[in-house]
A and B are shown apart, each in its own frame.
Chain A
Amino acid sequence: DTEVTQTPKHLVMGMTNKKSLKCEQHMGHRAMYWYKQKAKKPPELMFVYSYEKLSINESVPSRFSPECPNSSLLNLHLHALQPEDSALYLCASSHPARADRHQPQHFGDGTRLSIL
């Protein structure tokens, strides 16, 4: 069983739709991450939240809008996506403290997103 839960597992949407991806963890982690992963490629970091504040935005287009409502929840709001945005979106969490830097990031199962 994964400790980081992502919903939905699969999402198909048109380019004009608005949808959201959800990620939840109950491990007490205060750092949460969104990654985008294309087939047979490594994950690419998109956003990092630390203590519910956005700490890193890797120059992601504004059609992706992250939100961290509380320490357990991370959302990714999607609007006007392009076909090239079709990918696996992974959420991860970890402890942000320097002393815990040796601790790994824990990943969810991902949301497979297809843009029509």
Chain B
Amino acid sequence: AQTVTQSQPEMSVQEAETVTLSCTYDTSESDYYLFWYKQPPSRQMILVIRQEAYKQQNATENRFSVNFQKAAKSFSLKISDSQLGDAAMYFCAYRSAGVMGTSGSRLTFGEGTQLTVNP
């Protein structure tokens, strides 16, 4: 079974600064997908960024980028120019490329990192 570990339960950053959230995972699979979701107090889980394991290039979405190290099984999220609206719980998630109805259906989540943005 896959596991996802987020070792930072809480992080804080000053507005306009950069912060990096850590995520490591354990899997024996070679084909999979990784996601970062954000969950503000409004409750909705919002996709921040995704990475296909077969792609060596790190994904980037505006102020959000990842450092994907497949050999190290590490998938950290960097938020640049932090904004007050970035304050939320961030979940790292793993999804197998396997068959639907089995492992391919599941998102395995880390425990989350609560990010506070200070003005």
Interface of A toward B, CB cutoff 8 Å: 2, 31, 33, 40-43, 45, 48, 50, 55-56, 88, 90, 92, 96-98, 101-102, 104-110, 112
Contacts and interface: CB of A to CB of B under 8 A. Distances in A.
A40 B89 CA distance: 8
A96 B99 CA distance: 9
B117 interface: no
Nearest to A2: B44
A107 B45 CA distance: 6
A101 B97 contact: yes
A102 B101 contact: no
Contacts of B111: 41-42
Contact of A42 (B35, B47, B109, B114): B109
A109 B47 CA distance: 13
A98 B103 CA distance: 12
B105 interface: yes
Nearest to A48: B105
A55 B50 contact: no
Interface in B77-119: 89, 91, 95, 97, 99-102, 104-107, 109-112, 114
A97 B91 CA distance: 24
A45 B33 contact: no
Interface centre among B35, B45, B50, B107 (most CB of A within 10 A): B45
Contacts of A43: 45, 107, 109
Contacts of A45: 106-107
B112 A40 contact: yes
A16 B111 CA distance: 33
Contacts of B52: 102
Given A101-B104, A102-B33, A104-B35, A88 B43 contact: yes
A51 to B, nearest CB: 9
